[in-house]
Structure 1
């Protein structure tokens, strides 16, 4: 365990792509970094020690879901989220802001915050920037996210602008609430979240307001919500450059392997997404040649590993034929093996990007990756 609260160093650049290291008291995070999603204090179908073995330096937990079950106060009484789930390394917690959008039929939005009706039992809960900071403090989060609203990109510009402005006011309240918890401010980092959908001008205003408040890192929010890869990349052509060069840039909720390569190419340092674990539970494996569906009958007698280039335990031990059988039989082991492989593949992809950026050949790597990665298989 290191003593640093938060330190970010860029070790090499190649075009807009960067590789570096975040140092925190619970360990170092190599960037570009992919954070497996442990929404409810678990990366589904994996033990924490297996997640770490794949190469993950940090995982993500969710404020909204943990607030509802088992409860932030309960987790705190049991020693905090790290002890509760047996993960000793850094944890980033989403603020609950994404659920403002995804559970819109269950909430009432005001300047004060968001009143949720629990999707579990219908009980009412009020989530404000201050309460989000308190919950993340109780959880013991290492990287705390400011509370925001995430509007869909297809909303009218005036609605997106009004939402962004409110998120910026919430960012200041998040900063104040975070700083009021002296133990939190002394041991954790706080990231602000840029909003503005696909609009360059709105994102510039958002970035400037966030920098005025001051954060340890900056997230790019409001993407990967249905706008498509082309529009997302067009936004990433300008959004990372609007944020401070000496702070980590985190693209929230992204994404597919080709999304990650394109975003790193545009200057993004951190990612999270449920896709590798969700796909693993549903029979899809990611490989260097693109995703494959293990439910497909053509794998029934295939003696090859999921990916011959992958170094994970699943690929070193089990055949496609066996995993096909597990998946088609709905055996729990199938979900476990597939998820382990997918998380490991994502970590190997991140390592390859870190290596090639450091060696000054990232552009060639990205071109080769795109040439080999076939989406429809």
Structure 2
């Protein structure tokens, strides 16, 4: 049996004609940069998340960069985030000449540990970026309470978490501003790079909309030095079609996650691996189904040989990356992040998986451990 980590072809075939019709209509219009289709997607995502404003941008990475710019982050400032995340979270901070200040994650949900946050804040701290990793929201009540005490902006890195909720509220309205990625592998993925920023703050929304077009509200008149980060109409056309199916796909992922939990329990592998923990206030959308395992690299090689795709998100925490050596962090600085990087393994979780495929994944993992 061959089970890829993600099968986008299966998803595409279910809506192929509708997507191609939307692309063809956009091509007939010959309007490819921003325009009414982008506005429609901005409004649709804002409505979906419960936000007042949505601003389409070229990628999730640019969404983070623009959110920081709109909050006034500049050279010499500090921004607190976590080292166990995709590089763009910290990379956006560094691109502005600011300093990423890392704090460790909680071992259960892989998200920012609020108990460590306050001690990392200094007079130079300008923003906090909690990451909703793998499709589950960080503890936003605790993070926001600390941020308010220090008058610091909070940016949700929700690039893996569209549709996730906490206490009934969507990712996208849990901080001052939120950033989404529509990279093809996301729960809501485009046909290339694309992103979105959401906020309830009108001034922030207007600033981000200006900064994404070289700091201009009126053509050829520039109020600030911005960047070129415009969501194109072809991506918006595709995403408008796919957005209608997002909740259905999320339910499929959640169903598969529950089935995995059942199958792993029946396989009696509790002494070999740890399943994802879901907080009682969280609605997890499982952009990844990430487990902790013993002999991770050996298991991954075995799965590959048996036709099962997997991935390690992420094998090296950011504080140990060569490009961040100058921050001065040493191995051991963030033990939970380092341990996670050594143990995590993400398994296929997309909605189109059959029960037979889920059983095969678990049986293959059980077979690996029986031989060791």
- Provide the TM-score with structure 2 as the length reference: 0.29
Higher relative contact order, structure no. (Cα contacts within 8 Å, ≥ 6 residues apart): 2
